[in-house]
Amino acid sequence: MIKSIWLFLLLSTLLLIACNSKNEVLSELPLVESKGLKYISPFPFGASLGINLLKTKVVYRNVVTKEFNSITAENAMKFGALHPSENTYFWTEADYLVSFAKNLGIRVHGHTLIWHNSLPLWITNFQGDAIAWENLFKAHIQTVVTHFKGSVVSWDVVNEAFNDDGTLRNTIWQQHLGNDYVARAFQYAHEADPDALLFYNEYGHEYSSAKRTAVNNMVSDFKTRGIPIHGLGLQMHTNHIQSDANLITAINTAALTGLKIHISELDISLNKDNNQSLTLTDALAVLQAAKYKVIVKAFAALPATQRYGITTWNVGDADSWIRGTYNRPDWPLPFDDNYNPKPAYQGILDGLK
């Protein structure tokens, strides 16, 4: 009897030590304190936002208010959200974000006028001729840009027009409008709001030299033809395995255009291989922090006139598109599920030093 009590005491003691040692490992990293990125960064720092989160989650609003001076609608300004049927525009959600920003005196970046995703059925089923397609294309761009004129200071005019091999993506827009639809999108947007800064937004700069070259060649062509373009959005949906060199090359190659550079959708996945049993460790958190530091440091080294800003793609890990899209555990953002700053946040601070 006494033997079994001793054994129980021994086992529970061992278990307690094991748990404590694990807690000690997890709490090893220092807590991050900051007055807010927008006060520390010399360039705008922001996030894309979900309108429902903004409306319903106080802690979300508080973090956004404290940290950011530039916001992007994650979904509320996309074609399908704003223009659900041919003769109907829906402004309510996007206007909510614009008035939130106005109350805080912070910037709104518009995302995105023309993309091959998030299209309403009336577009994907549209049966008009080339002139009808051109008219609906121009009408959407100019109606949306006009509605937000003076509130949305910059736009992702076209999103993701290239394939990773540098060829033009065979999208519904390219099929019905021809290869030069990208240039005309910029012209139509500029006509509607000559003061708006017009960006071309893309992903993959950090892993595809063909795409980097295609984007920069397009910029050169636009400059030669007098097509109004002011900036490049580098989405930078990347991961902790991506090399520092590739991340830095992506930013510096885009900057060769002389345009404003926006790291427009930054997140750093820790589970690119979809490991369903992966757990977040201090080691992974520290590797992610190092990558945030590399990206922020490289961006901060650009000429001030070219630093349009850094925008993460939403705020806390639980809000990230990655978890739902790939159905996997992941922790890609600077804030955790409870909006506490992670080591990644410290990595951003370190990159700003």
> Which residues contact ligand G3I (rule: CB under 6 A)?
74-75, 78, 117-118, 159, 235, 265, 321
Residues in the chain: 353
Q: Match 């278990």 to its residue by tokens.
A: 15
Shortest spacing between CB 52 and ligand G3I, in angstroms: 8
The two tokens of residue 202 are 């893309």
CA 129 – CA 60 distance, rounded (Å): 46
Nearer to ligand G3I, 219 or 236 (CB): 236
Shortest spacing between CB 118 and ligand G3I, in angstroms: 4
How far, in Å, are 29, 121, 299, 305, 306 from residue 302 at the CA level?
Answer: 30, 42, 6, 8, 6
Is the Cβ–Cβ distance between 200 and 232 less than 8 Å?
yes
CA 67 – CA 59 distance, rounded (Å): 12
DSSP symbol at 268: E
CA 110 – CA 155 distance, rounded (Å): 4
Shortest spacing between CB 99 and ligand G3I, in angstroms: 20
Shortest spacing between CB 326 and ligand G3I, in angstroms: 10
160 among known catalytic residues: yes
Is the Cβ–Cβ distance between 103 and 78 less than 8 Å?
no
Residue 128, φ and ψ in degrees, nearest 5: -75, 175
Nearer to ligand G3I, 41 or 159 (CB): 159
CA 50 – CA 159 distance, rounded (Å): 19
Shortest spacing between CB 223 and ligand G3I, in angstroms: 25
Marked catalytic residue, from 160, 191, 202, 206: 160
206 among known catalytic residues: no
Nearer to ligand G3I, 158 or 352 (CB): 158
Provide CB contacts within 8 A for 226, sequence distance 6+.
Answer: none
Shortest spacing between CB 333 and ligand G3I, in angstroms: 12
Shortest spacing between CB 76 and ligand G3I, in angstroms: 9
Nearer to ligand G3I, 62 or 117 (CB): 117
Nearer to ligand G3I, 78 or 184 (CB): 78
Nearer to ligand G3I, 235 or 257 (CB): 235
Reported as half-sphere exposure (CB side, CA atoms, 13 A), residue 253 has a value of: 21
Interhelix angle 130-147/181-192, nearest 10 degrees: 40
Question: What is the DSSP annotation of 158-197?
Answer: EE--B-TTSSBP--HHHHHH-TTHHHHHHHHHHHH-TTSE
Nearer to ligand G3I, 159 or 187 (CB): 159
Three-state SS at 68: coil
- Helix then strand then coil, in percent of the chain rounded to 5, is 50, 15, 35
DSSP symbol at 85: B
Give residue number: closest CB to ligand G3I: 321
Q: Supply the residues annotated as catalytic.
A: 160, 265
